[in-house]
Structure 1
């Protein structure tokens, strides 16, 4: 494993302006640095430049500061331009995947206009964020073949539970089953049955890069049951086979399973699945689907390919 050291993290709030170092930055999954003008849903979410390249430029007479080339991360010890596309880098909780080496300059940037040259088109590297987190100067950056952490989150949708008037037995059951299945960390929260709050929390967990986000409760016919609506609001792609499988299983137990409105889908690198609200139904449904979900998450994260039965 090759390692380096982050010397600076730089960002700018507006395009066309020089980036400047910040004390700490929040990296959002499939987006980039929060607040950076060049972050977004594309393949050049974060840019890297080696400290050695900047120092060589300075030795040739260029008076430049960190961020002048438009780079987000300056690191020492890694020759970024020598790494193939697809290489993964890790710093703290954050994982990156290199998507492009160098770039074409269609119009000269500010540094070119000032000193007559820019090394970013030749030596810069671009990447997408696979797993989010906070980073600062001094953090270690490493080339890695590690898989992304297998984390999960459980959101319990319950008006009474959010007020402390009901014990969250369904969330407890889901957490215990996830840990037994090998999920290294399980985030937990109880929210009222409010679509906006539920949708915002789903997005926040997905921004972190959590692989599996489960909800429990709020999938019935009550006017306050809005968990599927929050899920559908957030998801970019649906995974209808998962709730269909849970309903098929539950119909063997009770015909009322046909009344479940549970949904499932994908947002960024996260799989979101609605579970029922009772501990018994959570145990039955999650126990049925859980063995297959890890494979789906690996496909979603690009860590394995699709596989068909022989």
Structure 2
């Protein structure tokens, strides 16, 4: 299990960074107030304390931040993390590894002192998928990269008569936990919805299918019926929790017929069709997405906490 031993920033590029202990990581940007924030895919730089120790063994008096890294880690083999790996820091922050090592166009003072430098070979870079506060001693660990599918049930959307805004919103909200590998806009038809869900679960082996639309009282709203024909087990607590929270906003939430269940190792959840409803309901489930998918897919251990 890895941890942060330093959180470093600098106001200017080309200088050593100082350990500030705590800092805010901003989504799609980097460390608040850091000179390197917002640099395309290299928003955050990481270097292991174990790599710094190699330079100390060469006789250099170097410390975290001296290699201009933002986050200094301990107990995590950064070089074994492939590009695309998600890293969870503390409770809220998620990064995605975007680059291993870098090319130095100019030699730094450390290189001239030791004849070598670890940052170009052993430093890694990441982008911020979900921001929040990080501090020294926070845990940092690789996170399972889940595979998601999004299905928008809409007659008009499937015919190109209406732009689907809920599907892209779901893809954005799911980004910290994995990638949407399949996105479909289909008509409100039980057979087509069911066939697609079976294919995504049985053949493409996605971990989570999120449908949006078709959960109301209209005769064409058949997403729950299609889902019932597909799932092996019902998970009633998920839609119950979503409706409970939605009722605090509007009494119309009681009219939602969305359900949730599992087919094999795939979780399927029905969400409303509107972007507002999608955001509000998914935020409820995201509180337990870690535990739900770890247990269902077998990538985590069940606990009683």
TM value normalised by structure 2: 0.52
Q: What residue in structure 2 maps to residue 265 of structure 1?
A: 261
Question: Structure 1 residues 186, 290: closer, same or farther in 2, change over 3 A?
Answer: farther
Kindly report which structure 2 residues correspond to 1:1-310, keeping only aligned pairs within 5 A, or say none. 149-179=145-175, 181-207=176-202, 208-309=204-305
Distance in 2 (CA, whole Å) between partners of 1:232 and 1:293 is 21
Query: SS state of the match for residue 288, structure 2?
Result: helix
Query: SS state of the match for residue 262, structure 2?
Result: strand
Structure 2 residue ranges without an equivalent (≥5): 1-141
Query: SS state of the match for residue 168, structure 2?
Result: helix
Shift of 1:187: 1.5
8 Å CA contact retained: 2:149, 2:209: yes
8 Å CA contact retained: 1:237, 1:265: yes
Shift of 1:295: 1.6
8 Å CA contact retained: 1:216, 1:276: yes
TM value normalised by structure 1: 0.51
8 Å CA contact retained: 1:147, 1:303: no
Shift of 1:197: 0.3
